[in-house]
Structure 1
Amino acid sequence: MQGGKSSSAVGAAKEAVANVGASAWAGKEKTMAVVQETVNKAKAHDPAAKAEAEARKQERIHEAEAAKRDAMRYNAAAKEHATAASYHPTPGSAVDARDVEVEGAAAPRAGSSDDSYLGARHAVGEDGGHQLPARGTAGGHSA
């Protein structure tokens, strides 16, 4: 097996595992938002407070989804970067269409999209300091 193919398989596996972690984290955050909203609605005595609890729940859910999408974009970009760094063509090898420039712009890599960028606020992994928010409660106890 060629080195590039095995490293891309490893990169794909790492990306998949990181994406599962990001998805699990987002699911946990959304569940916590629903539970908090239920508690806030039970404590509320007026319709305005209940509506505010609902709005806050929706905001937290959207934030968790955005963080998950950012993490997945970051993971895809990290995999692409690792795959590109491990690709070393040998002299006399066939030219791949992905390596040919067209009118000064590189052709897009297979499987890439315009939304894979490194601007993620939250991501699973340790590359570049991008981390998901700390888990657990303020008192240091985890649920």
Structure 2
Amino acid sequence: MQAAKNAAEAVKEKAANIGASAKAGMEKSKAVAQEKTDKMTAHTQMEKEMAEEKKNKRMAEAEYHKQEAKESNAAARRATSAPGGHPMYSTGGTDNPTGATEVPAGRVTEGTVESRPMGVGTGTGGTTVHKTRVE
């Protein structure tokens, strides 16, 4: 049973890594296209050099985010495949840079926020009111 779980986790990690690589590839392609546009509209050599520097910076950031995602995916796999480990949470240790006691160990997507059921984790002890009508 554990071997099947580990295999499934490996597949999930691989799929998440492929997604991170694809996203990084798209970001790099956008950077190249933007650089070409900037170079075509540039009037001076300095503007052309700035466009190339901007492209290099964006490409480096895309690669950094890809590597960060791969590390996060590996940490999530380790947390779920550990004996007695909970599939959603790790308990600190080396995978927890903040030192908090519980940190979500699932896939992290930059630009998103954690979601919980209403009234859970609000710190008030009660429930929260959710406004369902948008005006």
Q: What's the counterpart of residue 108 of structure 2?
A: 130
For structure 2, the 5+ residue unaligned runs are 86-93, 98-103, 113-135
Q: What's the counterpart of residue 46 of structure 2?
A: 48
Structure 1 pair 50–117 and aligned structure 2 pair: CA distance change class (3 A): farther
For structure 1, the 5+ residue unaligned runs are 88-115, 120-125, 135-143
Structure 1 pair 18–129 and aligned structure 2 pair: CA distance change class (3 A): closer
By how many angstroms is 1:38 displaced?
A: 0.2
Q: d(CA) in 2 for partners of 1:54 and 1:30? A: 13
Say yes or no: does 1:63 pair with 2:41.
Answer: no
Equivalent pairs: percent with the same residue?
38
Q: What's the counterpart of residue 11 of structure 1?
A: 9
Structure 1 pair 129–82 and aligned structure 2 pair: CA distance change class (3 A): closer
Higher relative contact order (CA 8 A, sep 6+): 1
Q: d(CA) in 2 for partners of 1:78 and 1:127? A: 5
The TM-score, its normalising length taken from structure 2, stands at 0.65
CA contact (8 A) 2:73 2:106 kept: no
Number of aligned residues? 98
By how many angstroms is 1:118 displaced?
A: 5.5
